[in-house]
Chains A and B, each alone.
Chain A
Amino acid sequence: MAVPKIIWRIGFWLLVAFIVFMSVFPFYYAIVTSFKKPSEIFQVSYWPTSFSLENYKSVLTSGDFLRNIWNSIVVAVSVVALAMLMGITAAYALARVRFRGRGALLLIILGVSMFPQVAVLSGLFELVSGVNNFGTRILGINLSNTHWALVFSYTIFTLPFTVWVLTTFMRDLPMEIEEAAIVDGATPWQIVSKVFLPLMWPALVTTGLLAFIAAWNEFLFALTFTSSASMRTVPVGIALLSGSTQYEVPWGNIMAASVIVTLPIILLVLAFQRKIVSGLTAGGVKG
């Protein structure tokens, strides 16, 4: 007995509706909550009932939230730039040059990118506090008030990811173009900088975006290596956002903050949808 076609169609569209609903409802609900007046927050409502900017005003003016956003931007941008710089040349070597140990090296890079970060936490902590102490005692600089520790530690996931994805992209560039450059007398560095780099822009945007999102979302290191509230990044800031008393969770503020930090990322992801999907599949690594 074949199921009638119409049942199939209805079932399919119900499934699509369910998928869409499940995907967007939580964020929709966060937006609805964030625009509520503080007095209305504890009444469940499915539709926007009021439009109040009070939560936004409160989260942006009190505390360090703006400062947290700035920290996140500085850290994410620096670590992506650093990873790109080291990643492009490394990817060229891994993708285009045949040498002994290349396979093993690729395996190590893949291994590090899938590393349980908690396994290096104690060692990193020793390193970071050691350098910070050195800064205070010998150089007279308070390094714990800079972003170096986060930029440094985030390299553990941004760098292998960048190298891995760029290697897969670089492998797909036509070999004859490189050979033409060799015949033209280009050195490996000139091949990378003058021939491949201009061809790699789409790949660089994809990789950079994914590495940026990963750095933007990171929590464990940010929680461990930031000593003061003013140095926190956004995820830590939101996780530790507290109300006037210990027992009151400021849900309105948290939702407003969540919307503020998520909206740009969602827009970015939707704008670069295709590139991101190609990057994810090339790297097969969580962004």
Chain B
Amino acid sequence: MTAETSFSQAPPPEATRRSRLTAQRIRSAWIFLTPMMLALALVAGWPLFRNIYFSFTDASLTNLGAAQWIGFDNYYSKITLPSGREITSGLLVDPEWWRAVGNTLRFAFLSVGFETVFGLIVALVLNAEFKGRALVRAAVLVPWAIPTIVSAKIWAWMLNDQFGVINDVFLKLGLISEKVAWTASPDTAMTAVLIVDIWKTTPFMALLILAGLQMVPKDIYEAAKIDGVHPVKQFFKITLPLIWPAVMVAVIFRLLDALRIFDLIYVLTPNNAQTRTMSVAVRENLFDFDNFAYGSAQATMLFFIIALITILYITLGRVRFDGGK
């Protein structure tokens, strides 16, 4: 009756007349929000709109101003040659694009999947009480703290085919019989990218899950212990359901991050069709291949693909963003 009925709770009913205090607060709120909303409109809203616009034009990098409206041609067009042959072109029938989409999805699901499992393991370890836990937690943070480009370079060096430490170790252990060009070979490039990404982002996952774990009341475990519940069963029946909301939130954040991956792939495995993701394809078309309009069409499609996946995830997974706190 004291805190529950505060003015920052349920919305006022239509009938309530706003007092001067409320009116003043609401007016101030909008004034306070204006700079942020303007900034976001300018830096996100307008460029997104222009991007979508460009995707319906023949804009070229060197002369954006001369862009002409060409409708859906960047997405799909069909030309009938005098010989009667039909030629289709555009994003929707572009195998390279769909390959990039496939690469992105494969990368995102594999990396987030592994990260979740590893993150869960690391979080469970960090949640146990043992000597030197603080040191271990500090160590776990290191990969997260290293800038992506730097970790890409360090791993590129470690995965180097001639002088890399990975090949050295694997040869000594007899895991491989000859040196492997991890980042350049089509068979292993995706694996290399996955290894680096999982290494780099597992700490983030672990920390978010750890926060969820620490909110589980200790007496639940004690009760389970007294009841003689097996630790493995205890994990699947008690711990996992309780931290599930936190895991779901962590997964969506990581998934969105993985779906837009650019920097790691650009640096670690440049010009490799096996790892070219949607973002890499967009940038190449925009600035390297002078297909500005086509790149914009790809970017538009990327935006909607990611939006679709997000909406599906949130509705199917019933994600509650306050559940992770």
Q: Which residues of A approach B to under 8 Å, CB–CB?
A: 12, 15-16, 19-20, 22-24, 26-27, 29-30, 33, 41-44, 46, 85-87, 89-90, 92-94, 96-100, 105, 108-110, 112, 114-127, 129, 152-153, 155-156, 159-160, 163, 168, 175, 182, 187-189, 192, 213, 216-217, 219-220, 223-224, 234-236, 238-239, 251, 254-255, 258, 261-262, 265-266, 268-270, 273, 276-277, 280-282, 284-287
List A contacts of B310 (CB < 8 A): 114
List A contacts of B207 (CB < 8 A): 277, 280-281
Is there contact, CB below 8 Å, between A175 and B146? no
CB distance from A248 to the nearest CB of B (A): 13
Complex Cα distance A29/B25, Å? 56
List A contacts of B279 (CB < 8 A): 116, 118, 220
| A and B contact pairs by CB, cutoff 8 A, 27 listed | A20-B140, A24-B142, A42-B162, A44-B165, A44-B168, A93-B29, A116-B256, A118-B278, A121-B47, A122-B51, A123-B51, A159-B36, A163-B36, A238-B149, A239-B267, A251-B163, A255-B157, A258-B153, A261-B147, A262-B147, A269-B145, A273-B137, A273-B138, A276-B141, A280-B208, A281-B208, A284-B324
Is there contact, CB below 8 Å, between B44 and A115? yes
- Asked if B273 CB lies within 8 Å of chain A CBs, one says no
What 8 A-B pairs come out closest when comparing CB atoms? A123-B47, A123-B50, A188-B28, A93-B29, A89-B32, A120-B47, A219-B263, A116-B260
Interface of A is mostly: helix
Is there contact, CB below 8 Å, between A155 and B145? no
List A contacts of B152 (CB < 8 A): 239
- Nearest to B215 among chain A residues (CB) is A281
Is there contact, CB below 8 Å, between A119 and B302? yes
Is there contact, CB below 8 Å, between A188 and B32? yes
List B contacts of A238 (CB < 8 A): 149-150, 153
Is there contact, CB below 8 Å, between B154 and A27? yes
Q: Which residues of B approach A to under 8 Å, CB–CB?
A: 3, 6-9, 11-12, 21, 24-26, 28-30, 32-33, 35-37, 39-40, 42-44, 46-51, 54, 64, 121-122, 125, 128, 130, 135-155, 157-158, 160, 162-165, 168, 199, 201, 203-204, 207-208, 210-211, 249-250, 253-254, 256-257, 259-260, 262-263, 266-267, 278-279, 282-283, 286-287, 292, 295-296, 299-300, 302-303, 306, 310, 321, 324-325
